[in-house]
Amino acid sequence: MGEGEFGIVHEICRIKLRKRFSSRRKKSEERRLYMEANYLRGEEGYARYAVKKFHPEVVAEVEEEFEEKRYQPSSSLTASQPQMDVLAVEAALLSVMSHPNIIKMRGISNENPLSMDFFIVLDCLSHTLEERVHDHWKEQKRKWELMKRKKNRKKKGTSGGGLFSKLLKKKGKEKANGDSTVSNGDAQEWDEGGEQMFIEQSYVAYDICSALRYMHRHNIIYRDLKPQNIGFDVRNDVKLFDFGLSRELPLKDMTEEGLYKMTGQTGSRRYMVSMFYFSNFV
């Protein structure tokens, strides 16, 4: 489904439980049995859950490091580099966070959280914000703009050419004078479609802010906000995911200046705030 610098995500095509819980853990057992029976969604057979684990290349690097240090690699390799705790951090945060716009964790491995065999089970998302922007919103905007330009050319009795830029420059003046050249059903569809897309984008932005506000209220900083880490489920609800670089900010760790000492240059450079890129303090 997707992969990042440290992790890779796969759809879960089947769930088969190997061990049953005791009657004292009835609720947990009921959830596990539900997942075993409902790992696919509806008649279409879409995956309901996904598993996230360390990327094979990361595992290979750790194995090579063990060999160089003359350690015998085993089936339960332990991450030795500081950045290799990303899955453990994500599991710990998701286990305590509950918000409609934050992805839900449905299960974890019984391996050591710092083991290369550790994994987490998450809800399966249909697509990301990056995909929606490029595959839907930009395409719809292009379609509506072409529709409007085509109608403008037809009204002016010309086939286009250099008139495109003139029409665009004249658009504001015509609107101010109430002399719009587009007044039929196509124009109405363009206006309604553009308004609908703007409303949809506003709702998405609001849900993202709601999730971040929830995290900040609980002294958790995300540190990797980007379109690739924002997804949508089958109900079209916004879901923030990938919390491996997130950190909790305990008050005891605050400096006298009201700052926190953290690792600099964390996240994706294109979307990284300047204070992360140029300093170790936030």
For residue range 76-103, what is the model confidence (pLDDT) as tens digits?
A: 555 445 456 888 889 999 999 999 999 9
**Domain boundaries of the chain, sorted by first residue:** 1-124
- Show the tokens assigned to 20: 């049953």
| pLDDT at residue 54 tops 80 | yes
1-124 fold: Phosphorylase Kinase; domain 1 (3.30.200)
Cα(59)–Cα(7) distance, integer angstroms: 10
The radius of gyration computed from the CA coordinates of the chain, to the nearest angstrom, equals 25
Is the pLDDT higher at 174 or at 243?
243
Beta carbons of 265 and 272 less than 8 angstroms apart:
yes
Task: For residue 171, name the pLDDT band (cuts at 50, 70, 90).
Answer: very low
191-250 pLDDT, tens digit per residue, is 566 678 888 899 999 999 999 999 999 999 998 899 999 999 989 999 999 998 888 888
Highest mean pLDDT among 12-21, 68-77, 143-152, 188-197: 12-21
Cα(149)–Cα(145) distance, integer angstroms: 6
**What's the predicted TM-score (pTM) here?**
0.72
> String of b and e for 53-91 (b: at least 16 CB within 10 Å)?
bbeeebbeebeeebeeeeeeeeeebbbeeeebebbbbbb
Cα(27)–Cα(266) distance, integer angstroms: 39
Helix, strand, coil in percent for the chain, rounding step 5: 45, 15, 40
- Show the tokens assigned to 258: 């009201």
Return the percentage of the chain with pLDDT > 90, whole number.
Answer: 25
Residue that has been written with the tokens 């039929």 in this structure: 184
Cβ partners under 8 Å of residue 48, min gap 6: 12, 35, 38, 39, 40, 41, 123, 124
